[in-house]
Amino acid sequence: MSSEMLPVSLETPNVGREPGVSDGEEEGQKPGLDAGTEPVSKRQMKKLMKQKQWEEQRELRKEKRKEKRKRKKLERQSQLESGSDGSDRKRIRRDGVHSSLRLIIDCSFDDLMVLKDIKKLHKQIQRCYAENRRASHPVQFYLTSHGGQLKKNMNENDKGWVNWKDIHIKSEHYSELIKKEDLVYLTSDSPNVLKDLDESKAYVIGGLVDHNHHKGLTFKQASSYGIEHAQLPLADFVKMNSRKVLAVNHVFEIILEFLERRDWQEAFFTILPQRKGAVPAHTACENSPQDQQPRPEGWDSSSEGEHCRNDPDSPQKEEQDQQGSPVS
C-alpha cells in the first residue's frame, strides 16, 4: 500500500443554504433587531433599564471595591505597627459598649415558608449574628420559636450554630420570654412611626419570607397579643425608586447603626442597598414636587440574600438574592 495520504478538503459543505443565495444576501435576509415584530413588555423594559443602570454604575462599584481594599490594607499595616494579633472582630466586640436593647427575630412562621425561603432566612440570621458580634453597641440578640425546618436546615448546613455566643436561641415564643409591656413589634402595617429607640424595650422583627402572600400577618399577631407595634421612620428620611422592602438583616443593621450614630438618616443611608436608589426625602421633594405621594408603607422586613451590601456578579443575581418579601 502507498504511504501517501490523499489531501483532506477543508471546505465546509454549504448545508442548508438556498441555491443562488450569497453570504451577503443571506445576512440581509436575517430579521434585524429593530424590526419590532413583538412589542417590548413593561417587564422586559424594566429589566433592560436595570441592566443599563447596572452597567452605568460599574465604575462606581469598582471604585468602592478599590477604596475598601485600600482601607483594609491600611488597617493591616496599623495592626503590624501596633503589634496587634489581627483579631479585630474580637477586639471590637470586647471594647464595645453593650446595649440593653433586646432585638428579637420571630421565627414562628416556619410552616408558612417553603425550603427555599427557609434557607434565605437562615442566611439572614447568620448575617445578623455576625454584624452584632462586631458592632460597637451590640444588642441582646434573641432567636425565638426556633425549630422545624429552620432548625433542621441549620443542623444540616451550619452545625457551628450550637457554639454561637452572645445570642439567646429559644424554642419558646417571644411572648413567653419577654414581658408584654416591654415588647414592640416592628411591622410596616403599624400606624405608629418609631422616632427613637428605647433601650429598655424588646423589638421584634418578623422572620418571614412570604412574597406578599400573608399581608398584615405580623400586625394582626401583635394586635392579638396586645403588644405595642411600630414601623421604622423610613418615609421621613428616604425616598426610594424601588419597593419599600427591607430584609431582616437590613432592619437589624439599621438598628445597630442607629444605636451608634443616633441619626436615622445616617443609619438608613449606611445600610440600604445601592440598588434601591435611595435619596434623602427632602431632596426628592424639592426636585420632583409633582411626585409627592402619601406616606409609603415604611419598611418591610423579610429574609433574603446573604450580603446586601456586597457587589454580586450580576444584576440578575442581585435582584434574585436581595429582593425582599414584605413581612405582613
Active site positions, annotated = 210
DSSP 8-state symbol, 230? E
- Element of type H or E holding 104: strand 102-106
Contact between 210 and 302 under an 8 Å Cβ cutoff? The reply is yes
Q: Please report which helix (H) or strand (E) contains residue 229, including its range.
A: strand 228-230
d(CA 106, CA 33): 51
DSSP 42-83: HHHHHHHHHHHHHHHTHHHHHHHHHHHHHHHHHHHHHHHHHT
Alpha-carbon span 35 to 304, nearest angstrom: 39
Quickly count: other Cβ atoms within 10 Å of residue 215's Cβ.
15
Alpha-helical regions (H) of the chain: 23-29, 42-56, 58-82, 88-95, 115-134, 148-157, 174-177, 217-225, 234-237, 248-261, 264-271, 281-287, 315-322
Look at strands 202-206 and 183-186 and give their pairing.
Answer: parallel
Distance between CA atoms of 178 and 199, rounded to whole angstroms?
Answer: 14
Q: Is 144 helix (H, G, I), strand (E, B) or coil?
A: strand
